[in-house]
Structure 1
Amino acid sequence: MPGTVRIEVLTSEVLQNNPLNDPHQRKLVVYLPPSYMTDPSRRFPVIYLLSGFMGYGTMMLSPQAWGYAIDERCDKLIAEHAMEECIVVMPDCFTRWGGAQYMNSPATGNYEDYIIREIIPYIDRTFSTQTERNHRGIMGKSSGGFGALRLAVNYPELFSAFFCSAGDMYFEYGYKPDIPKTYNALYKTGGLDGFLKKFFEAPKKSGEQITAINIIAMAAAYSPQASEPYGIELPFDLQTGALKETVWQRWLAHDPVFCVDQKAWRENLSKINHVFLDCGARDEYHLHIGARIFTDKLRNYSIPHWYEEFDDGHMGTSYRYDVSLSKLSRSIA
């Protein structure tokens, strides 16, 4: 018997009047496992599944050639006894820039608060959930993996487990190589205004444009600055392309490979019962190197965790949900 997909519509107070004028009414995808409809007295654990950059909840329902939409994958794994029955929640945190890293920022809006203060309470009062932290986990890939790790560490009283798949870390390798590419894209269009005009007018976005909008989105998350255009301080000089070291240090303050060296951050991480990470060994953004550095530090700090590399890159790895959904669901069952 298949599970059921509900698409709820939330009117958010924390996203109202956000600086990008993005919608504050959002769709929220909720997967209910097969037994939800047949056993009304039963309460279920909850997994929060965060999309990567340029993604949002309803996209995960798209059928894939020779693959599975997320609800189909959950049905398959549950039928094979590879996944415990869980409610799976997929929020929409898309922004004009393509994402917000699931953070609060005066340049984008309060997407951390949206998940923590609005979505989680809504799910617990609307559905038959197990509300204790031991039965709540969070997961995601790429920006979603970064968000899952960060939110779990920020709120260990809410989450007992997370799975970070190819999450953004070691920004020196992951983001820095794209900074000169972004500078070139902005320089030849006359600056940020010119680039954004061409970007939003383009019927098909080029690879160079996607690279640049990603760096712009990251700047909105990591280095907001009210006095700058669009409330964003870019990590490079718009005229010369020179790296702005003070801005870059603001970015690095959010990098998990450095955050883990902070005692308070590490103590919060140690409160998480189950820490899972994976990454493709050929990740095009070099996130496998970040994952290796991060997990090496976890070992040195004696923080229990599970990490696996697999023979693939960054894209087209939805099949790894077989691993992450299985492990995370069993850890919170």
Structure 2
Amino acid sequence: MLPWSTEFAGRLDEHLFSSDLLRDNPLGDPHERPLWVYVPPGYDDDPERRYPTVYVIQGFTGHVEMWRNRMPFRQPFPELADAVFARGEAPPAIMVYVDAWTSYGGSQYLDSPGTGRYHSYICDEIVPWVDARYRTLADRDHRAISGKSSGGYGAMITPMLRPDLFGALATHAGDALFEYCYMSDFGDVVRHLRAYEGDIMNWWNDFKSRVSFTKEEDGKLLEVLGYTASYTAREDGSLELPFDTVTGVLRPEVWQRWLDLDPVRMVPRHADAMLSQRAIWIDGGTRDEWYLDVAAQAFRQALLDAGVKEDVIHFELFDAAHGGIDYRYPLALAWLCRRIAPGETS
């Protein structure tokens, strides 16, 4: 495995996208974002051909430039995806790599007064922009979204909220079943906040003043801060944590607002959207530290209970923890592309 980049068989176009919806966002984050659009081999040879599209989103703290990261003896996903098409393992497709980073680490791909309008940014700005500039099959039956972890969360909820745009999804260890993946960290957060007078913003101010992740508490506190900003920010942008930061007692009304955004619990309310999906890939590692394999099982069962047919779903658990599962992405990509290719039926 070469330790440096390889030449693409297709083409990766790098754009700077100026978003009106992210302009003046609550955190003052840039409204101009990198946007990568990959076109498969042969795209430039047949100017009449149109292609399905797969949107790719990242996990918490992820941003587009991280797709260049190269682990020892592994290739970055854009190279692996290019190889899928170069080898003919899947029908050719356009891929769109979207940046939804925030100062708090992520947006969960939702519209929130705590972070900004990231759901609308993807659906109402990025999708039409790509369709206008590339030869896409501009129809939800030929458009999929894929992600891991928080990106997997976004991949689950975006087709629920916008089934008019997305007709297929792949979620790798996506955030769901919140009482398993989030609540187990709440006690540690309460302990850590003792050093910050029970105020997570005191920790945040300290975090910004020094080298990041140099204290034990940084990871968990950043996650809770980011998720709270996405799920339960007040209209003025201030945050309502789902538990008392001194006693640890749950705040039932606030916690319920988190649960209302849990994909497992969202399925019954968006059953028609899920019934319309052409393809749903769900996987997770059996040693996932946040029990997202259990969440994957729960999400699958919620879909089946809603009436989604088993042949629409690819479900798989595999021996792995939460990290280092990027080798799964090309498998889902090839499967999705076969399902959303022209001429395929759901």
Measured against the shorter chain, the TM-score band is over 0.9
**Counterpart Cα distance in 1 of 2:306 and 2:129:** 36
Structure 1 counterpart of 2:334, from 308, 326, 331 = 326
Structure 2 counterpart of 1:67, from 50, 70, 74 = 74
Contact 2:283 2:316 in 1 (8 A): yes
What's the counterpart of residue 217 of structure 2? 208
Give the root-mean-square deviation of aligned CA atoms.
Answer: 1.5
**Counterpart Cα distance in 2 of 1:259 and 1:269:** 10
What's the counterpart of residue 320 of structure 2? 312
User: 2:280 is paired with a residue of what secondary structure?
Assistant: strand
Q: Is 1:261 aligned to 2:268, yes or no? A: yes
Structure 2 counterpart of 1:286, from 287, 291, 298 = 291
What's the counterpart of residue 234 of structure 2? 225
What's the counterpart of residue 24 of structure 2? 17
- Residue 296 of structure 1, CA deviation: 2.0
- Residue 134 of structure 1, CA deviation: 1.6
Residues 188-203 of structure 1: pairs in structure 2 closer than 5 A: 188-190=195-197, 191-203=199-211
Contact 2:275 2:307 in 1 (8 A): no
Structure 2 counterpart of 1:239, from 225, 239, 246 = 246
What's the counterpart of residue 301 of structure 2? 296
Q: Is 1:55 aligned to 2:62, yes or no? A: yes
**Counterpart Cα distance in 1 of 2:55 and 2:187:** 35
Q: Is 1:81 aligned to 2:94, yes or no? A: no
Residues 102-141 of structure 1: pairs in structure 2 closer than 5 A: 102-141=109-148
**Counterpart Cα distance in 2 of 1:187 and 1:83:** 53
TM-score by length of 1: 0.95
**Counterpart Cα distance in 2 of 1:107 and 1:93:** 14
Identity %: 36
Structure 1 counterpart of 2:47, from 26, 40, 44 = 40
Matched positions, count: 329
Structure 2 vs 1, CA of residues 266 and 73 (structure 1 numbering), >3 Å: closer, same or farther? same
TM-score by length of 2: 0.91
User: 1:36 is paired with a residue of what secondary structure?
Assistant: coil
**Counterpart Cα distance in 1 of 2:206 and 2:192:** 10
Q: Is 1:273 aligned to 2:282, yes or no? A: no
**Counterpart Cα distance in 1 of 2:30 and 2:85:** 34
- Residue 318 of structure 1, CA deviation: 0.4
Unaligned residue ranges in structure 2 (runs of 5+): 1-7, 342-346
- Residue 207 of structure 1, CA deviation: 4.9
- Residue 327 of structure 1, CA deviation: 0.8
Q: Is 1:100 aligned to 2:110, yes or no? A: no
